[in-house]
Amino acid sequence: MSTTLEMAKSWIDEGREVALATVVETWGSAPVPVGGHLAIDSKGDFAGSVSGGCVEAEVIARAEDVIASGEPELLEFGVANETAWGVGLACGGRIRVLVEKFG
């Protein structure tokens, strides 16, 4: 079991609610391969990585919504003309990240 999943399990054992973000698809250059995880708990703690920078901050923010609603979200990040100044990947690739309640 990965360190990220072990941390998520320990948070659940402590009674915290947890969301797990998983890289499910990549295109082109991506900083984290498919299967990379980021665990986020209801206190705002996190472990692991799905990308870095602005992408990770956005995933953490959306994980709070997933924890509250219990509804999974599929997020996509990349660089395009209309999103170049927003949340995107500086490396020019694209990723899809599934965020779901864990445990």
pLDDT in tens, 43-59: 989 999 998 777 889 99
Q: What is the pLDDT of residue 51?
A: 87
Distance CA 46, CA 28 (A): 26
Distance CA 83, CA 68 (A): 27
Q: What is the pLDDT of residue 23?
A: 96
- Structure-derived torsion over alpha carbons of residues 102, 35, 3, 65, reported in degrees to the nearest 10: -30
Q: Give the residue numbers spanning the domain of 63.
A: 3-102
Q: What is the pLDDT of residue 32?
A: 87
**What domain count does the chain have?**
1
